[in-house]
């Protein structure tokens, strides 16, 4: 039986939204950065039961002496290939569950171990991950916000009816996420990213969008406050009351976006 539409949508969210966040780990984790500094490899990850026009659903990771990219679709000649029997099993592994692929390229064992380590670094975004170290806490917040803004845009492009309609009704709006650094408001933020929605189209980006003021600003006062909200220790309303986050702009649209964020987090974790 072919994979379900939900299984396929979830896999595409991982490929298009979660996997690119590995760039954050390669940039911000000194050990991981050093480990991949001299790696040249193409690593394909896919599953064979998607059916329809894409009987083999895959993407591939390209490592080139410190450079990194995620390319959608199968690779021509991957040096390493991780192939799952079903999309559901592939998603299970991405969520940290017990599922293993067939592996081609065991001769490149050192590179394979590094790639698995990088894939497992995505587990830092899981709700069960509660790092105590300040560096890891900041990394978790950065990865999580980068991932969720990308996932919101991807969800629209995948054609979810509710998300498509929500994006279609908006002229040109910026949903900005910002986490204050040690200097507080007005100084360089620790983390910043955004979602731009314009007449049905959507695009995510890193940093502060400077060409127009945000329609909605999710302003977290600290990494610790952002973690409370992301881990659902407090809801958005309670987070505002406790001084974890300030929502500037349309509260109605902020809640719509929060609802979609919850749906996507449910699919990916």
17-65 pLDDT per residue, tens? 999 999 999 999 999 999 999 999 999 999 988 666 667 899 999 999 9
87-137 pLDDT per residue, tens? 999 999 999 999 999 999 999 999 999 999 999 999 999 999 999 999 999
> In this structure, which topology does domain 5-124 adopt according to CATH?
Nonspecific Lipid-transfer Protein; Chain A (3.30.1050)
**What pLDDT, on the 0 to 100 scale, is given for residue 235?**
82
pLDDT mean across residues, the chain: 94
**What pLDDT, on the 0 to 100 scale, is given for residue 53?**
64
Please give the average per-residue pLDDT across 234-260, as a whole number: 89
From CA 122, how far away is CA 126, in angstroms rounded? 8
Is pLDDT above 80 for 68?
yes
Please give the average per-residue pLDDT across 2-15, as a whole number: 94
SS3 sequence of 134-193? HHHHHHHHHHHHHHHHHHHHHHHHCCCHHHHHHHHCCCCEEEEEEECCCCCCCCCCCEEE
Going from N- to C-terminal start, the domains of the chain cover 5-124, 134-268
The CATH class for the domain spanning 134-268 reads alpha beta
Shared fold status for 5-124 and 134-268: yes
Contacts of 262 (CB under 8 A, 6+ apart): none
Backbone angles phi, psi at 79, to 5 degrees: -75, -30
Residue with tokens 């072919």: 2
Q: pTM value?
A: 0.94
Contacts of 141 (CB under 8 A, 6+ apart): 179, 190, 191, 220, 223, 226, 227, 230
């Amino acid at each position: 039986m072919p994979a379900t539409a939900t299984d396929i949508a979830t896999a595409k969210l991982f490929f298009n939204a979660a996997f690119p966040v590995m760039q954050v780990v390669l940039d911000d984790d000194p050990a991981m950065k050093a480990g991949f500094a001299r790696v040249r490899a193409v690593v394909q990850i896919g599953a064979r039961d998607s059916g329809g026009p894409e009987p083999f659903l895959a993407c591939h990771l390209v490592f080139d002496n410190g450079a990194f990219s995620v390319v959608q679709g199968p690779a021509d000649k991957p040096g390493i290939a991780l192939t799952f029997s079903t999309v559901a099993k592939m998603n299970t592994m991405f969520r940290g569950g017990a599922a293993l692929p067939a592996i081609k390229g065991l001769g490149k064992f050192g590179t394979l171990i590094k790639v698995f380590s990088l894939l497992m670094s995505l587990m830092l975004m899981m709700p069960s991950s509660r790092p105590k170290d300040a560096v890891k806490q900041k990394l978790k917040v950065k990865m999580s916000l980068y991932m969720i803004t990308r996932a919101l845009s991807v969800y629209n492009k995948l054609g979810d009816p509710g998300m498509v309609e929500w994006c279609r009704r908006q002229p040109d709006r910026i949903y900005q996420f910002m986490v204050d650094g040690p200097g507080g408001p007005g100084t360089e933020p620790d983390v910043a990213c955004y979602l731009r929605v314009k007449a049905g189209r959507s695009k995510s980006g890193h940093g502060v969008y400077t060409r127009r003021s945000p329609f909605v600003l999710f302003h977290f006062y600290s990494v610790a406050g952002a973690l409370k909200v992301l881990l659902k220790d407090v809801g958005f309303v309670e987070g505002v009351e406790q001084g974890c986050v300030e929502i500037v702009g349309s509260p109605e649209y902020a809640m719509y976006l929060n609802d979609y964020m919850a749906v996507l987090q449910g699919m990916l974790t």
